[in-house]
Amino acid sequence: MTISLLLALAIIAALLWWVIVQRRRLRVAAVQFSRDERERAGLVSDLAENRVRFETLANATSDAVLVANARRQVVYLNDAARALFYTVDGHGRTVIELVRDYDLNQVVLDALADRRELVRQVVLGPRTFRARAVPVESSVEGEVILSLQDVTELQRLGRARRELVANISHELRTPLASIRLLVDTLLGGALEDAALGPRLGEKIGSETDALSQLAEELLDLAQIESGRALLQVAPTGVRTLVESCVERLIPQAHRKNLNVAVEIPADLCVLADPDKASRILSNLLHNAIKFTPDGGRIVITSKKIGTQGNLVLERSEGSGELRETQGVQQVGASDGGWVQIAVADSGIGIPANELPRIFERFYKVDQARGREVRGGTGLGLAIARHLVEAHGGRIWAESVEGKGATFYFTLPAC
């Protein structure tokens, strides 16, 4: 009995020890599980924070961003991509279903296949995009991030810069070639000709003046477009302003036997920079004289038209096209309303398809009218437009081909 009792006690002691050990192990396991659970929760929280951070950064950019997996399915879209592809949620759709463009889909396919970064240019409707596809190296699903940067405006600016350089080169080349020819003629013996020499010298002076005018107008336009041209606004009588411009240019009109009429009430007043307003009028009147045939008529009128409300004509810098925009208040608008000034001529008019372009830099109206009209830099109307808009006004033209043209602009009334 003693041996059996001792054996039983030994078994009980062993069981108790095993229970104690297991409890310790369970306690350690519970502590480890709790630590692991906290770490897992931390990782989940970090992943959620990283996702929120990624989405915030992706939505902060103006570029469209989407992520596609190896099965060519879209797994993420930022707000810009949703707007670009007109979708609320493109998750699960294939790239081609979403973008509906072969070239853009091919960028993603090539990046998935080659596992390397690709940069290509794609055209979606009227806009051009720089498409960049970058494989995600750490992704187990072989994902690719595609970003689309709208470069339409950059391309337009590039074209405008090239056109500007080409136009300046052309405008410089013509008078320089003429001066070189005249100088060669003088050096060839015409200098000693009492009648021909002075006449050629005057032509050289005229061409030099044209170069000087081009340089001056280029500087003026650059200053105006950069916003460095400050306006000294003051109450200005419209009739006095117009009559002053007419007085300066009337000799040109008389040489062509033109009748210039001023039909403006004496009490009209504008809040404008007198020098800048005079420049606007002079440019328009000079064009009217230039394109009106001998014996024609030019009429300058003005009237108060009241407030123009919230209707504004915005102009595309590249094309010069006017478009109506609602809800934008004109800068410089006053409770006193607006004064509209019109310069009408009885010339040959401007073709309707050319009207949207006449306020572009270097666009010459004589090209549109198909006439052999010489002179001018093609900057006068562009300068007039910028000066009018600096006052918060509008400028536009109406014309029926063969029946003359009328240029209108508005300035704030006193």
Least confident range from 126-140, 208-222, 239-253: namely 208-222
Burial of 95: CB neighbours in 10 Å, binned 0-12, 13-18, 19+: buried
Average pLDDT of the residues of the chain: 80
The pLDDT of 47-52, averaged and rounded, is 62
State percent of the chain over pLDDT 90: 29
Q: 63 or 51: which carries more pLDDT confidence?
A: 63
The pLDDT of 4-33, averaged and rounded, is 78
Ranges 33-47, 196-210, 356-370, most confident: 196-210
E strand or H helix at 395: strand 395-399
Does residue 320 carry a pLDDT above 60?
no
Q: What distance in Å separates the CA atoms of residue 297 and residue 347, rounded to the nearest whole number?
A: 8
**What does the domain layout of the chain look like in residue ranges?**
58-152, 232-308+331-367+377-413
Can you point out the beta strands (E) in 282-368? 297-306, 311-315, 322-326, 338-345
Contact 77, 83 (CB under 8 A): no
CATH superfamily membership of 58-152: PAS domain (3.30.450.20)
**What pTM value is reported for the model?**
0.57
What pLDDT is stored for residue 330 in this prediction?
Answer: 39
What pLDDT is stored for residue 140 in this prediction?
Answer: 64
What pLDDT is stored for residue 197 in this prediction?
Answer: 81
Does residue 122 carry a pLDDT above 90?
yes
pLDDT band for 307, please (50, 70, 90 cuts).
low
The pLDDT of 289-294, averaged and rounded, is 89
Q: Can you name the CATH fold of 232-308+331-367+377-413?
A: Heat Shock Protein 90 (3.30.565)
What pLDDT is stored for residue 61 in this prediction?
Answer: 82
Specify the length of the chain in residues.
414
pLDDT digits 0-9 by tens, 349-391: 888 888 888 888 777 655 444 444 555 567 888 889 989 998 9
Q: What distance in Å separates the CA atoms of residue 347 and residue 290, rounded to the nearest whole number?
A: 9
Residue 296's contacts (CB-CB under 8 Å, 6 or more residues apart) are 256, 258, 259, 345, 346, 347
Contact 235, 271 (CB under 8 A): yes
Burial of 358: CB neighbours in 10 Å, binned 0-12, 13-18, 19+: buried
E strand or H helix at 65: strand 64-68
Contact 224, 390 (CB under 8 A): yes
What pLDDT is stored for residue 397 in this prediction?
Answer: 92
